[in-house]
Chain A
Amino acid sequence: MAERSDMPLIEVQNLGVRLNTSRGPAQAVRGVSFSLKRGETLGLVGESGCGKSVTALSLMGLLPDSAVVTGSIKLDGSELAGLADADYCRLRGNRISMIFQEPMTALNPMHTIGNQVAEPLRRHKKYSAAQARKEAIALLDRVGLPDPARRVDAYPHQFSGGQRQRITIAMALACEPDLLIADEPTTALDVTIQGQILDLIADLVEERGMSMILISHDLGVIAENVQRMMVMYGGTVIESGPTDEVFRRMGHPYTQGLFRARPKLGARKGTRLKTISGTVPELADLPAGCTFSERCPLVIDACRTALPPVVEVGPGHGVRCIRTDVSMAANVGALSA
C-alpha cells in the first residue's frame, strides 16, 4: 500500500482464455498483457468476437465455469486469476464495476431501480436500508435521472433506454470502484443519447479518479474518450499505444483497415464504404500464425507460421506485425484523413 502511486492498479500479463463453444474449444484470448494506473483510461477496440468482452469478463471473474483462464491478473498487486468466487464477490461491484451493453435487459424487471442501485451498497458497505435508499437517490441524481426521489421506487420498464443506462451507471458507481469496465455502453442507444452517456461516464471517471476500460467497436468513441488504446483481433492485441499516437500513425494493416472502413462525413453520395475483405475467423479455428493473415493485404508466408512479436514503432506504441516497414510506409491515420 505504501508505493500505491507507482504500482499499477491493474496489471494483466499474458492473459489467455479458453472457452468451450458449440464449435468446440476455442482460444478466445491469448497473450494479452497491459497495465493500467489509477485514473488512467484504456480503450479496447475490435469487431464482435475479437475477444474484447471476454477480456473484460475475465477481469470481472465472470466467465462461464467451463472457461480456462491462464496468465495473471493483478489488482493492486494481488492476484485475481484463480481467485475463489466468494473472494471475487467482495471485489465485484465494490472495487471493480462493469456497465453492460444492453440497458434494456441488464436490469431485473421485478425489482425497483432503487433497490437495484442500493444492492451493492447494502452488500459491500453494509448500509442500512434507509441509508442505502438515500444514497441510491443521490446516485440517481448524480447520473442525471430526473426526479430521482420520486422515481426511486419505479421499475425498469418505466424508463427509456438512455435512462436505464444511467441507472446501471449509478449501480456500477455506488461503491466508488477503482476500476470501471464499460462494455459497449452506448451501442444499444440512440445516437443523440450516446454522446450524453459517454460525457457522463467521462465526467464521473474524472470526478472520482477511477480507472476505466472502455470497450467499443467504434474508433470514434475510443478516440474521444480514452488515453490509451488496444486494438484486438482474433483474441490477440494487434496494436496498442497512446490513443493520439495510434491515431496519428496506425501500424497494423487491420487497424488501418478499420480506420478506412469508417463512414466519412462529406463523402460524395454513392461512394461505397471501404471494407476489409473476408470475414472474422472463428475462434475455434484460428490460423496458426498472425490471426489477421487470412485477410491481410500485405500477407507473406512468414506471417502464417508464427504469431508475430510486438514491434515498438513509437513511444509506448506496439504493433504485432512483421511488416510494419511496408504498412507504415504510407501514413494512415488522423494526419492522412
Chain B
Amino acid sequence: MSVFVLRRLLTLLATLVGASLIIFLVLDALPGNAAQMLMGADASPDAVRALTVKLGLDQPLAVRYLQWIRGLLVGDLGNSYVYGTPVAGLIAERLVLTIPLAIMAMTITVTLALSAGIYTAANHNKLGDVGVMSLTQVGIALPNFWFAILLVLLFAVRLQWLSAGGFAGWEDGVWLGVRSLLLPAVSLAVVQAAILARVTRSAVLEVLREDFVRTARAKGLGKREVLWSHVLRNAMIPVMTVMGLQFANLLAGTIVIENVFYLPGLGRLIFQSIANRDLIVVRNCVMLLAAMVVIVNFVVDVLYAFIDPRIKVHDL
C-alpha cells in the first residue's frame, strides 16, 4: 500500500515539475513586456529598461525559472506588477471564494449525477431512464455561461430569491456566502453532472451484467440490495476517474462563471491579470490550478486502492 502511494507521489511530483516548466515557458514566450505595459505606451525606453531590471526580467530564462520555483517552495510568489502587493496574498483572498465554490459545485455534481445514474441504471430502458437520459443529453449541450444567465433571469430577476451576482463574503454568516455562490455553483455543476450521470449509468449497467451479481441474487439478495452492496462499489472506479477529470473542467469553468456573476474569485483574478499582462499573477494562478488538478487526481488514485482490493496487490 505505502509503495503504491509512494509511487503515485513521485508521479505527482514529476507532473508538477512538468507543468511548471510548460507554464513558465509558454508565458515567457508571450509577446508583450510587463514593464512596457506598466509604464504605458509613451514611457521613455530608459525608464522601461530600468523597470525591466528592477523586476528581474533581464535575467536569463533558467535563472528566472529557478527563482520562481524557489519562491513557490518558500511561499514567496513575488509582487503583482499591477497591484504591487504580494501575489500570495492576492491569491489567498480569492481562494476564500473559489474553493468553497468548487466544493459546492462538485458536491452538486456528484449528488445529482450519482442519483440520476443509479436511478436510470436500476430502471434501465424504462420511462424514467429515457426521461432522465434525455435531460442529461440537454445538460451536456448547454453552455454553462448561457445557463447561468437563464438562472439569473429566473431566480434573481423574476423570483428575486437570490442575488444576480457579487459575493456576500463569509463575515456575515456562512449562509449568506453560500447563498451568493448557489447559482454559480449550479451553473458550473449542470454540465458536469449530466456527463457524470451518463458515466455512472453505464458503469452500473456494466457491473449489473457481471456474474457475481447473479451469484448475489442466487444467495437471496433483492435487486436493490445487490445494487447497493455489490454493484456500486465495483462501478465506482470509472465514476471516480471521470470525477477527477471533471474537477479540472470545473476549475476552468470558474473563470467564465465568476465573470458572469461578478465574483471576486481566482477565475476572475486570472481573467483580469491576463487582460493586464500581470503575468506573474497569471503564472502563479495557473500553477495553483494545475497543482489542484494533479492533487485531486492523486487522491482519486489512492482512493482506487481503498475501493478495489486488487489494486494494492498489483502495485506492491
Contact status A89-B220, CB under 8 Å: yes
Contact status A111-B230, CB under 8 Å: yes
Given A106-B215, A111-B230, A119-B221, 9 additional A-B pairs, CB 8 A = A89-B220, A92-B218, A92-B219, A102-B211, A107-B212, A110-B234, A120-B220, A158-B313, A168-B215
Task: Give the distance to chain B from A287, nearest Cβ to Cβ, in Å.
Answer: 31
Known: A109-B308, A110-B233. A124 touches B212 (CB 8 A): no
Q: What residues on A are CB-neighbors of B64 within 8 Å?
A: none
Q: What residues on A are CB-neighbors of B219 within 8 Å?
A: 92-93, 97, 119-120, 123, 171
Task: Give the distance to chain A from B265, nearest Cβ to Cβ, in Å.
Answer: 39
Task: Give the distance to chain B from A126, nearest Cβ to Cβ, in Å.
Answer: 12
Q: What residues on A are CB-neighbors of B233 within 8 Å?
A: 110
Q: Interface extent on A, as a size class?
A: 20 to 34
Give 1 or 0 for each of A116-141: 1 = CB within 8 Å of chain B CB.
Answer: 00011001100000000000000000
Known: A109-B310, A110-B233, A110-B234. A97 touches B218 (CB 8 A): yes
Is A62 on the interface with B (CB-CB < 8 A)? yes
Contact status B313-A157, CB under 8 Å: yes
Interface residues of B (CB under 8 A from A): 210-212, 214-223, 230, 233-234, 307-310, 313
Contact status A106-B220, CB under 8 Å: no
Task: Give the distance to chain B from A103, nearest Cβ to Cβ, in Å.
Answer: 9
Nearest 9 Cβ contacts at the A-B interface: A93-B219, A93-B220, A105-B211, A92-B220, A108-B212, A155-B309, A120-B219, A98-B218, A106-B215
B220 CB contact (under 8 Å) in A91, A109, A155, A168: A91
Known: A105-B210, A110-B233, A168-B215. A123 touches B220 (CB 8 A): yes
Is A94 on the interface with B (CB-CB < 8 A)? yes
Is A212 on the interface with B (CB-CB < 8 A)? no
> What are 27 of the A-B contact pairs (CB < 8 Å)?
A62-B217, A62-B218, A85-B223, A89-B221, A91-B220, A92-B218, A93-B219, A98-B218, A100-B218, A105-B210, A106-B211, A106-B215, A107-B212, A107-B215, A108-B212, A109-B308, A109-B309, A110-B307, A111-B230, A120-B220, A123-B220, A124-B220, A157-B310, A157-B313, A168-B215, A171-B215, A172-B218
Q: What residues on B are CB-neighbors of A120 within 8 Å?
A: 219-220
| Bound Cα distance from A188 to B169, whole angstroms | 64
Query: Which residue of chain B is the closest to A95 with respect to CB atoms?
Result: B220
Contact status A100-B309, CB under 8 Å: no
Is A337 on the interface with B (CB-CB < 8 A)? no
